[in-house]
């Protein structure tokens, strides 16, 4: 019984630290957020932070994974409404680039993630989220009636790299909404050969 209570308390602490850190990382960015800030706002000690996350970078990674999970759960629900893999690809691109105009995705996922964790770690994490979803959509496209001869890994990396770079472009522009619309229309144009093959 005591063990269960201790485990529940630990989960509650983790959830609280991630929630507070998500807010601070979004508002201030990684570099301008200290563990002291997080601990104070959460009403906990720095020891609790180190115990559960090992340090600031571990805390940031946990926040990043939480943000990605929450976003992609919602995105996958939206994509269920589309049967056509071409339309799914467009909807994914539209939704992801639009999300890059929001503070939490812009700051945590786009601006800070690669510089804090390194691109190799980010790609490893994103294999479960962005990259994984892209590959699933491309697999549907490839296995369609016309059996399009595409290399899924190559095209997935092109799409992944493009959306990440466009996310940075959107994040740093004075008018993120305009940058988003321009980015989406450009990606749609680049995807057009896949549409022609599919149809």
Q: What is the pLDDT along the chain (199 residues), one digit of tens a residue?
A: 444 434 445 688 899 999 999 999 999 999 999 999 999 999 998 998 999 999 999 999 999 999 999 999 999 999 999 988 989 999 999 999 999 999 999 999 999 999 999 999 999 999 999 999 999 999 988 887 666 677 899 999 999 999 999 999 999 999 999 999 999 999 999 888 777 555 5
CATH number of the domain that 107 lies in? 1.10.357.10
Distance separating alpha carbons of residues 116 and 112, to the nearest angstrom: 6
Please tell me what DSSP assigns to residue 176.
H
Residue carrying the six token digits 């190559």: 154
DSSP state string for 69-115: HHHHHHHHHHHTT--SHHHHHHHHHHHHHHHTTSHHIIIIIIIIHHH
Please tell me what DSSP assigns to residue 144.
S
CA dihedral in degrees (98, 104, 106, 112; nearest 10)?
-150
Query: What is the number of domains present in the chain?
Result: 1
Sign of the CA dihedral with 17 first, then 20, 22, and 27 last = negative
Of 93, 119, 103, nearest to 184 by C-alpha is 93
pTM: 0.89
| Domain span including residue 26 | 2-198
């Amino acid at each position: 019984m005591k063990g269960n209570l201790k485990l529940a308390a630990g989960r509650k602490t983790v959830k609280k630290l991630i929630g507070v850190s998500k807010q601070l990382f979004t508002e201030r960015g990684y570099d301008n957020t200290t563990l002291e800030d997080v601990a104070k706002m959460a009403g906990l000690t720095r020891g609790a932070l180190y115990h559960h996350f090992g340090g600031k970078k571990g805390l940031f990674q946990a926040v990043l994974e939480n943000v990605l999970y929450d976003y992609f759960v919602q995105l996958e629900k939206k994509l269920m409404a589309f049967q056509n893999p071409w339309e799914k690809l467009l909807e994914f691109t539209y939704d992801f680039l639009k999300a890059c105009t929001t503070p939490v995705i812009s700051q945590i996922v786009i601006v800070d993630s690669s510089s804090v964790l390194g691109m190799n770690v980010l790609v490893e994490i994103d294999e479960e989220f962005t990259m994984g979803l892209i590959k699933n959509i491309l697999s549907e496209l490839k296995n369609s009636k016309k059996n399009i001869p595409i290399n899924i890994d190559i095209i997935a990396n092109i799409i992944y790299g493009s959306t990440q770079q466009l996310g940075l472009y959107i994040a740093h522009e004075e008018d993120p909404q305009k940058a988003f619309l321009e980015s989406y229309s450009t990606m749609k144009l680049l995807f057009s050969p896949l549409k022609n093959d599919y149809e």
